[in-house]
Homo-oligomer: A and B are copies of this chain.
């Protein structure tokens, strides 16, 4: 187990959701040409300053942040050092850190990716691809970290594989969901949820209910809320009656809220508060 991961990843995430009374997660995927002009410096320095500023603005309003690894990796090793710095800052704000890295390898390479995500970067959870099978996911779980397995993603092109129907009637996504549920049973926490969760896109509304039922102990990471078109009532089916069971992510609609004209950090803060409050009601976590 990693030195920094001392409790079950699902329990820690659920504690943060309950402490914040909200299942909202801000996706931090900064692209240089959309940053506020008032932030100056090199491209990477601007991304770092913006990232840290977003964390300041959202801390206390949401329980978790999802860091898009690619935005930082585009700058090579220097970018990965910044990513680790941003993750550290997020944790010091009390935010649960989800590294959206979509890694997918096996054996010792998978263990190396776990070391990279949980030790070198300092994430609590990582997203991972199931194409090589469940043995891709186990090395992450064995470190004590959390994994959101890609099951049903929000992009249009995902249908061409994930919606293919098997001869037993299930879709490919449902087949993966069943395997995730079975493996996840081995990694249960005290709160009744597994440290193996699943990514189920908010834009795939028709599938959300069935995937929720197929994965009753998986925390669902639901991207696509906000700019990608997913709506609050679309994601209602993801929540357990306790209000737990799902973390709903919005990225562009929150981090670029300043484009509407307000000072950028207050724009981000207001957008995070608004989203957090809306989702808290949908989940039943606030009256």
Contacts and interface: CB of A to CB of B under 8 A. Distances in A.
A70 B131 contact: no
Contacts of A83: 77
Interface in A114-144: 115-116, 120-121, 129-136
A53 interface: no
A161 B135 contact: no
B102 A104 contact: yes
Interface stretch (A150-158, A233-241, A268-276): A150-158
A109 B157 contact: no
A263 interface: no
Interface stretch (A4-12, A55-63, A165-173, A253-261): A165-173
Given A161-B131, A161-B133, A73 B155 contact: no
A108 interface: yes
A83 to B, nearest CB: 8
Contact of A74 (B115, B130, B136): B115
Given A102-B105, A112-B74, A175 B161 contact: yes
B70 A77 contact: no
Contacts of A79: 77, 116, 120
Q: How many A residues are at the interface, by size bracket?
A: 35 or more
Nearest to A114: B74
Interface string A57-89: 000000000001011011111111111100000
A80 B76 contact: yes
A169 to B, nearest CB: 8
Copies in the complex: 2
Given A165-B167, A172-B164, A77 B80 contact: yes
Given A74-B112, A133-B157, A175 B164 contact: yes
Which of A70, A120, A158 has the largest number of chain B CB atoms within 10 A?
A70
Interface of A: 29, 31, 68, 70-71, 73-84, 102-110, 112-113, 115-116, 120-121, 129-136, 150, 153, 155-162, 164-167, 169, 172, 175-176, 179
27 contacts: A70-B113, A71-B109, A71-B112, A73-B120, A74-B116, A76-B81, A76-B84, A77-B80, A102-B103, A102-B104, A102-B105, A102-B129, A104-B129, A106-B157, A107-B155, A129-B131, A131-B150, A131-B161, A132-B153, A132-B158, A133-B155, A134-B160, A135-B155, A160-B179, A165-B166, A166-B166, A166-B167
Given A71-B109, A107-B155, A167-B167, 10 more contacts: A71-B112, A74-B112, A77-B79, A79-B120, A80-B80, A104-B150, A132-B157, A135-B156, A165-B166, A167-B169
